[in-house]
């Protein structure tokens, strides 16, 4: 390594900047804060923010603000300090809506707990897409937005069911064309098998006599399976444009919440927000 490149390396480490989404802010010492944020390159990171309550930078570095973060990294002291934050997106509707705040909390907790599910880049895109969408949606549409985010996150974690046809007979839960929204759903609904991580149609379910297997089964509608399939495999607009009733949303929500809890473990923000989410 030449003297020149050594010097350049030294400067780069001291003056680092990247796109970041602020996740959590925690008090550290008397007037400082420990900031957890996510970047595309490095996933979950933490840095210190110095300054008292009147500091302008402190008001900018708030949860779910997105922008260019400027850092002073000192490798010898193993410390990282935020020197500036140029906010590009604020997600203003979160402050006025408890549901949105809680939904954003759930997504944030899952991302931190699972350390981006092993893929910083995909996780960064997924989380930012969810929060940007949440900011624009009505509360009613936010509910299906959270379902879609959690379902895609199960995909990122590699624990989403692989198939959306019946595990036993391989029949689809719909007929027709999904992209054109001209479809008929299979009657009888779908039975989710936890042990096999997939769906079983009513005809095959009736043939199952093993009660131990049946213990780990929950029932959802065929439409719900198709909605999850569209969310997992098709362009976002397809599932976004599928209309769900309040009952269908509630049922899907319970199902997806239980799957994400099985996959990730206890999610505190999900439990504390259960009456609202």
Does residue number 204 form part of the binding site for Zn ion (CB under 5 A)?
Answer: yes
Best CA proximity match to 64, nearest among 106, 34, 9, 20: 20
Cβ neighbours of residue 80 under 8 Å, at least 6 residues apart? Answer: 45, 46, 47, 48, 71, 72, 73, 74
Q: Closer CB to Zn ion, residue 22 or residue 201?
A: 201
| Helix extents (H) in 157-245 | 202-206, 211-214, 222-233, 236-240
Using the contact rule CB under 5 A, the part of the chain among 9-17, 19-27, 151-159, 196-204 near Zn ion is 196-204
How far apart are alpha carbons 35 and 32 in whole angstroms?
A: 10
How far apart are alpha carbons 9 and 13 in whole angstroms?
A: 6
Q: Least separation, in Å, of the C-beta of 161 and Zn ion?
A: 14
Q: Least separation, in Å, of the C-beta of 222 and Zn ion?
A: 11
Does residue number 201 form part of the binding site for Zn ion (CB under 5 A)?
Answer: yes
Q: Least separation, in Å, of the C-beta of 26 and Zn ion?
A: 50
Number of residues that bind Zn ion (CB under 5 A): 5
Does residue number 134 form part of the binding site for Zn ion (CB under 5 A)?
Answer: no
Q: Closer CB to Zn ion, residue 146 or residue 201?
A: 201
Q: Least separation, in Å, of the C-beta of 162 and Zn ion?
A: 16
Residues 165-194 that bind Zn ion (CB under 5 A): 166, 168-169
How deeply is 240 buried, as exposed, middle or buried, from its count of CB atoms within 10 A (0-12, 13-18, 19+)?
A: middle
Does residue number 252 form part of the binding site for Zn ion (CB under 5 A)?
Answer: no
Q: Least separation, in Å, of the C-beta of 207 and Zn ion?
A: 9
Does residue number 217 form part of the binding site for Zn ion (CB under 5 A)?
Answer: no
Q: Are 230 and 224 contacting, i.e. CB atoms less than 8 angstroms apart?
A: no
Residues that bind Zn ion (CB under 5 A): 166, 168-169, 201, 204
């Amino acid at each position: 390594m030449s003297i020149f490149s050594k010097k350049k390396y030294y400067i780069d480490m001291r003056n680092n900047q990247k796109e970041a989404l602020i996740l959590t802010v925690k008090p550290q010492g008397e007037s400082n804060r420990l900031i957890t944020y996510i970047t595309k390159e490095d996933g979950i990171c933490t840095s210190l923010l110095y300054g008292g309550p009147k500091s302008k930078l402190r008001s900018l570095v708030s949860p779910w603000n997105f922008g260019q973060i400027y850092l002073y990294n000192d490798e010898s002291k193993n410390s990282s300090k935020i020197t500036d934050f140029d906010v590009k997106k604020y997600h203003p509707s979160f402050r006025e809506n408890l549901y949105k705040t809680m939904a954003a909390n759930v997504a944030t907790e899952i991302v931190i707990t699972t350390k981006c599910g092993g893929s910083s880049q995909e996780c960064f895109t997924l989380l930012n897409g969810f929060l940007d969408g949440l900011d624009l949606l009505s509360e009613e549409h936010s509910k299906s937005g959270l379902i879609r985010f959690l379902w895609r996150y199960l995909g990122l974690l590699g624990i989403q069911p692989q198939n959306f046809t019946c595990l036993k007979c391989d029949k689809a839960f719909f007929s027709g064309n999904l992209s054109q929204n001209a479809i008929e759903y299979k009657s009888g609904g779908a039975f989710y098998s936890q042990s096999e991580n997939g769906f079983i149609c009513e005809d095959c379910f009736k043939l199952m006599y093993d009660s131990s297997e049946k213990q780990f089964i929950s029932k959802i509608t065929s439409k719900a399976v198709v909605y999850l399939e569209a969310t997992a495999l098709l362009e976002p607009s397809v599932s976004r444009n599928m209309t769900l009733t309040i009952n269908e949303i509630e049922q899907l929500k319970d199902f997806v919440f239980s799957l994400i809890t099985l996959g990730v473990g206890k999610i505190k923000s999900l439990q504390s927000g259960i009456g609202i989410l």
